Amino acid sequence: MREFRYEKATDPAGAVALLAGEPEGAYLGGGTNLVDLMRLGVATPDVLVDVRTLTSTEVEDLPDGGLRIGAAVPNADLAAERRVRERYPLLAQALLAGASGQLRNRATTGGNLLQRTRCTYFTDTTMPCNKRAPGSGCGAVTGLHRNLAVLGATDEGPESAHTCIATHPSDLAVALRALDAQVRVLGAGGERSVPMAELHRLPGDDPSRDTTLAHGELITAIDVPALPWATRSRYRKVRDRASYAFALVSVAAAMDLDGGCVRDVRIALGGMAHAPWRATVAEDALRGGPATEEAFAAAAEAELAAARPLADNAFKVPMATNMITRTLLQISTEARS
C-alpha cells in the first residue's frame, strides 16, 4: 500500500475543499472496498479524507412521502430502518442480500454506490485491465468472465483500449435504480442532484470511469421518491453461495396492478452490466398489458434480446429471463392473495 496522509474535516464542505486540491486523494467512507483495493495496489490515493460519519447518518422523511438517506448511514442501519422496510421492501432486501453482517455494519450508503467491480483482472495489478490501467487491454474476455457483463459491455477484443465487460457489484444500487432515486452530490461548485439513471455509466470508450461524478464530488444523501406501490416489491439475488457472494443475476422489481393488468412496473437488474441495468424494454412491454406469466416471460425475453454474452456467461441470459419472470409472478401472486 502506498503511503498516504490521513485527514478529517469538520463538515462536508470542508472535506470537499480538502480534496479539491488533491488530485490523487480520495474520500474514505466505510473503507470496505477502498481499503481492500489499496491493499491490492489497485487504488493508490496519497491522501484520504475521512467522511465516514461526516455526512448525515439520518434517514429523514421527504414531504412527498419519500425518504432522504444520509450518505453516511451504514448499510445495516438502513436495512433495519422501519420506514425502509415498510415503504420499500426491495431496498431492505437488496441491502440484506449484500456482503455480510460485519461489512454492512461498516459500509456506508454513499460508499456502497461507489464500489468498484470485482472482476479478477481489475483487482490483480499484474493483469491487463482497461478500467485500472487504461489502454492495457482486457484480460477477462479471453479469461475468467463467468460472472461478468452480458448487457451494455464494450467488447472490441482483448487488445482494445475500449474493451470492458465489468459488472457493478452493488445490490443497493440496483434497488435504487428501480426506485428512480436521486443522488445528492456536493462539489467545489456547490450541490447538485444526479438521477440514479445518470450516476453509473456504461464503459463506452472509457472503461476507467464507473460514474459521472467528477473528482472531489461527495455524495451527501440519496433521495428516494415516494412510490406507494413499492410496498409490493422484491429483490431477488442469485449467487453461487446461499449467502456472502456477489450476484450472478439479481432482479429488483415493483409492480402496480389493476386487477389482472399491469398499471406500472419497475425492473432493474444486477450482475448483468457495468451499471445497474434498468429493464425499460421489459417495463414498456408490460405496462398496460396483462399480468400473466406469459407476458412476464415475453417481456423478460425482449429485454434480454440485447444481451451479448461470451462463452462462459451465456447462462446469465436464461437465468435473468427466468428470474424476472419469477419475481414478477411472485409479486402478482402476493397482490392477489
Cα(233)–Cα(231) distance, integer angstroms:
6
Cα(151)–Cα(273) distance, integer angstroms:
5
Cα(72)–Cα(78) distance, integer angstroms:
10
Query: Of 206, 213, 197, 114, which Cα lies nearest the Cα of 154?
Result: 206
The values of phi and psi at residue 178, to 5°, are -65, -30
Query: Of 112, 116, 97, 118, which Cα lies nearest the Cα of 29?
Result: 112
Q: How far is the CB of 240 from other proteins (least distance, A)?
A: 5
Closer CB to other proteins, residue 102 or residue 280? 102
Q: How far is the CB of 322 from other proteins (least distance, A)?
A: 4
Closer CB to other proteins, residue 175 or residue 199? 175
Strand, helix or coil for residue 60: strand
Closer CB to other proteins, residue 212 or residue 333? 333
Q: How far is the CB of 239 from other proteins (least distance, A)?
A: 8
Binding site for other proteins (CB under 8 A): 1-6, 28, 30-32, 35-36, 38-41, 48, 50, 52, 76, 79-80, 82, 85-86, 89, 92-93, 96-97, 99-103, 105-106, 118, 120-121, 123-124, 126-127, 139, 142-144, 146, 238-246, 248-249, 314-315, 318-319, 322-323, 325-326
Closer CB to other proteins, residue 194 or residue 291? 291
Q: How far is the CB of 195 from other proteins (least distance, A)?
A: 27
Distances (CA, A) of 45 to 6, 118, 179, 212, 235: 10, 19, 33, 19, 34
DSSP string across 267-287: EEEESSSSS-EE-HHHHHHHT
Closer CB to other proteins, residue 66 or residue 137? 137
Q: How far is the CB of 288 from other proteins (least distance, A)?
A: 26
Percentage helix, strand, coil for the chain under 3-state DSSP, each rounded to 5: 30, 25, 45
Closer CB to other proteins, residue 147 or residue 220? 147
For residue 265, the cross-strand partners are 255
Q: How far is the CB of 25 from other proteins (least distance, A)?
A: 13
Strand, helix or coil for residue 122: coil
Q: How far is the CB of 136 from other proteins (least distance, A)?
A: 13
On whether the CB atoms of residues 69 and 219 are closer than 8 A, the answer is: no
Closer CB to other proteins, residue 43 or residue 188? 43
**Burial of 102 from C-beta contacts in 10 A (0-12 / 13-18 / 19+):** exposed
Q: How far is the CB of 208 from other proteins (least distance, A)?
A: 21
Q: How far is the CB of 297 from other proteins (least distance, A)?
A: 11
On whether the CB atoms of residues 101 and 118 are closer than 8 A, the answer is: no
Query: Of 153, 148, 69, which Cα lies nearest the Cα of 111?
Result: 69
- If one counts every other C-beta atom within 10 angstroms of the C-beta of residue 135, the result is 11
Closer CB to other proteins, residue 3 or residue 294? 3
Closer CB to other proteins, residue 51 or residue 265? 51
